[in-house]
């Protein structure tokens, strides 16, 4: 069932720095590409092609060509709550010679049919959402039975750090730990195998930007509160 169009729910607009950062090579290579490389080996029974692929929170559209090249969709969909991001993503795929369609909607009110998506990509979007429980329920609804969710997210430990508070803007009271995000995904009815979860501790997710390790050789503690979680979830077959 396709939900009726309703006014977009409230959201927290990004800072000017955050909007600029999403277009930098640092974002594209060290955040986005790194997430793809981490997520792909976690996909159970990886298929050569996923007919319908959707990106929730497509932003500037940097992920769309990567999704196209990796998963060979017949239908590629970009979604974002911001009309400016939709326009930018459309220009990005046109420049790359890729065909895609775009929907302006909230992640908690996705205007797609039930059981219509084979692969849903949610990269560094969830911590921007106010209505997180509604969003993960929507992810479950639009995925086909057997469809997969690629979920890459920064945790409460990272979003609450001083450097992120200084440079970016987020709804701070809804941030979750890695364990809480994993529990939330499972609570929606999606299955996540233990071997389909990763906790990368990348330099950009540390308050010191990895300088203590890179400059002084001081390794991070083995036991720590994780700053990132990457996981692949599956909607169970009927």
Question: DSSP E strands: which ranges in the chain?
Answer: 52-56, 75-80, 101-104, 117-123, 143-154, 197-198, 228-234
SS3 80: strand
How far apart, in Å, are the Cα atoms of 191 and each of 12, 75, 147, 151, 169?
A: 30, 25, 11, 13, 31
In this predicted structure, what is the pLDDT of residue 201? Answer: 85
Q: For residue 164, what pLDDT band results from cuts at 50, 70 and 90?
A: confident
In the predicted structure, residue 3 carries a pLDDT above the cut 60: no
Residue with tokens 């803007």: 169
Instruction: Give 76's pLDDT tier (boundaries 50, 70, 90).
Output: very high
* CB crowding 145-181: b at 16 or more within 10 Å, else e: eebbbbbbbbbbbbbebeebeeebebbeebbbebeeb
- What residues contact residue 95 under an 8 Å CB cut-off, 6+ apart? none
pLDDT of amino acid 168: 82
Q: Percent of the chain beyond pLDDT 70?
A: 93
- Residue 135 has a pLDDT of 96
Split at pLDDT 50, 70, 90, the class of 109 is very high
Helix (H, G, I), strand (E, B) or coil at 95: helix
pLDDT at 16 over 90: no
Q: Does 66 have pLDDT greater than 80?
A: yes
Q: Which two tokens stand for residue 172?
A: 């701070």
What is the domain partition of the chain in residue ranges? Answer: 17-209+224-234
CATH 3.40.50.720 is right for the domain spanning 17-209+224-234: no
Q: What is the CA radius of gyration of the chain?
A: 17
In whole angstroms, give the CA distance from residue 209 to residue 211.
Answer: 6
Q: What is the DSSP letter of 55?
A: E
Q: Across the chain, what does the average pLDDT equal? A: 90
As a dihedral over the C-alpha atoms of residue 231, residue 69, residue 108, residue 117, rounded to 10 degrees, the angle is -90
Q: Which of the 8 DSSP states describes residue 4? A: P
Average pLDDT on 184-193 reads: 98
The pTM of this model reads: 0.90
Q: Do the Cβ atoms of 88 and 28 come closer than 8 Å?
A: no
Query: Out of 42-51, 152-161, 208-217, which region has the weakest mean confidence (pLDDT)?
Result: 208-217
C-beta atoms surrounding 16 within 10 Å:
9
Q: Residue 13 — pLDDT band, cuts 50, 70, 90?
A: confident
On the 0-12 / 13-18 / 19+ scale of CB atoms within 10 A, 19 is middle
Do the Cβ atoms of 120 and 143 come closer than 8 Å? Answer: yes
The pLDDT confidence band at residue 218, using thresholds 50, 70 and 90, is confident
Segment 151-166 shows an average pLDDT of: 90
Comparing 169 with 212, which gets the higher pLDDT? 169
């Amino acid at each position: 069932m396709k939900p009726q169009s309703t006014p977009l729910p409230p959201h927290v607009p990004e800072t000017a720095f955050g909007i600029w950062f999403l277009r930098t090579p640092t974002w594209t290579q060290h955040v986005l590409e790194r997430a793809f490389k981490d997520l792909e080996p976690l996909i159970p029974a990886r298929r050569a092609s996923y007919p319908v692929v959707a990106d929730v929170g497509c932003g500037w559209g940097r992920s769309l060509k990567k999704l196209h090249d990796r998963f060979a969709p017949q239908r590629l969909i970009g979604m974002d709550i911001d009309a400016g991001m939709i326009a930018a993503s459309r220009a990005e795929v046109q420049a790359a010679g890729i065909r895609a369609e775009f929907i302006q909607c909230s992640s908690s009110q996705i205007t797609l049919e039930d059981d219509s998506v084979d692969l849903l990509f949610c990269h560094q979007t969830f911590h921007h959402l106010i209505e997180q429980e509604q969003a993960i329920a929507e992810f479950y609804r639009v995925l086909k039975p057997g469809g997969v969710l690629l979920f890459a997210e920064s945790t409460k430990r990272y979003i609450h750090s001083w450097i992120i508070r200084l440079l970016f803007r987020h709804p701070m009271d809804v941030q979750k730990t890695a364990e809480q995000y994993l529990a939330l995904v499972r609570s929606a009815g999606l299955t996540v195998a233990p071997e389909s979860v990763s906790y990368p501790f990348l330099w950009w997710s540390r308050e010191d930007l990895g300088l203590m390790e890179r400059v002084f050789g001081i390794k991070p503690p083995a036991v720590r509160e994780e700053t990132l979680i990457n996981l692949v979830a599956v909607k169970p077959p009927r």
